[in-house]
Amino acid sequence: MTDLTLMTSADDPASVLPSLALLSHRVRVLPMDAASLVKMPENTILFLDARDDLATAKTLCRLIHASGLTMPIVLILTEGGFTVVTSQWGISDVVVASASPAEVEARLRLVSERGNSFSSGSTNSTTSEQTQEGQIRSGELVVDTNGYTASLRGHPIDLAYKEFELLKYLVQHPGRVFTRAQLLQEVWGYDYYGGTRTVDVHIRRLRAKLGGEYEHLIGTVRNVGYRFDPPEEEEADDKAKAEAASSKPSGTSANTAA
């Protein structure tokens, strides 16, 4: 049984791709808007209803990838939609709304296999490393999830509780973009009634406490949200070499003219 998500604005979701109702998979239905990305699980295959609104579907595809979500996307199209869709949409497959259950099942199987193959072979050189002691290391930044402390270059960072929780969540998902609504949900919880402005305030405080040299670790993705950008290994090596060079004796001769 595969976990599936159907994003649609149709009044009757069962009419979007009728074959889904005949297959033994869990199908979650979400509205076709950006706010639904907050509720999107990571381990799912997304069916995106593009039958009547190709423009919105394309925008959502771009937003999904900009947010760092990596689930496969299968577009549900009418035959006329094939003339518009290109590889730039970043989708995994397409299916006609009238496809048979056998075809839908086959496409699901192929999408799943391609996704597993990619995941097993991919690597990321700019990741955060989590040790058994609950410490997450990213360059010279260390976040201790057990002790609720963070340090930079060995010096503790004075963080309020929510500031720490926000930093920890971002560091745990390096490179992934989160909308303000997603961060509000994940860090503050469903029972928080404040606005997304709260996220901006805490991000600003975090950057100030990281200091001018490291504030860039928390990046802004315009019109989307925020992400944690791990420092490149080369950047850290260059800094170490520069510090080592500056600590060496000057090597000037002690001899003076008589």
Boundary residue ending a domain (72, 91, 117): 117
pLDDT score of 6 more than 60 = yes
Rounded to an integer, what is the distance from CA 104 to the centroid of its chain? Answer: 28
Residues 159, 96, single domain; the answer is no
Q: Which residues contact 172 (CB under 8 A, 6 or more apart)?
A: 128, 130, 136
- For residue 24, how many other CB atoms are within 10 A of its CB? 7
Give me the mean pLDDT over the 49-75 stretch.
88
What's the pLDDT at 123?
A: 41
**Is position 209 within any domain?**
yes
Report residue 100 as tokens. 């048979």
Residues 31, 69, single domain; the answer is yes
**pLDDT mean across residues, the chain:** 81
Residue-number span of the structural domain to which 204 is assigned:
135-228
**Is position 252 within any domain?**
no
**Is position 254 within any domain?**
no
Is the pTM higher than 0.85? The answer reads no
What's the pLDDT at 49?
A: 95
Residues 38, 66, single domain; the answer is yes
CATH number of the domain residue 89 falls in: 3.40.50.2300
**Is position 141 within any domain?**
yes
What's the pLDDT at 48?
A: 95
Residues 168, 105, single domain; the answer is no
The string of pLDDT tens digits covering residues 77-102 is 988 888 888 888 889 999 999 999 99
Residues 92, 23, single domain; the answer is yes
Residues 209, 148, single domain; the answer is yes
The string of pLDDT tens digits covering residues 205-232 is 999 999 988 999 999 988 788 999 887 6
What's the pLDDT at 124?
A: 43
d(CA 116, CA 104): 18
Residues 79, 145, single domain; the answer is no
- Three-state SS at 109: helix
CATH number of the domain residue 168 falls in: 1.10.10.10
- For residue 91, how many other CB atoms are within 10 A of its CB? 22
Residues 139, 113, single domain; the answer is no
The CA–CA distances, whole Å, from 214 to 153, 195, 206, 210, 227 equal 11, 27, 10, 5, 14
Note the helical H segments in 173-258: 180-183, 197-210, 233-247
Residues 37, 92, single domain; the answer is yes
Give me the mean pLDDT over the 133-143 stretch.
86
Considering its fold, how many domains does the chain have in total?
Answer: 2
Residues 152, 105, single domain; the answer is no
- Output 17 or 256, whichever has higher pLDDT: 17
Q: Which residues contact 153 (CB under 8 A, 6 or more apart)?
A: 140
Orientation of helix 161-172 relative to helix 197-210, angle to 10°: 90
Considering only CA atoms, which of 186, 228, 233, 238 is closest in space to residue 203? 228
| Contact present, 107 and 45 (Cβ < 8 Å) | no
The CA–CA distances, whole Å, from 95 to 36, 83, 143 equal 22, 14, 44
Residues 48, 148, single domain; the answer is no
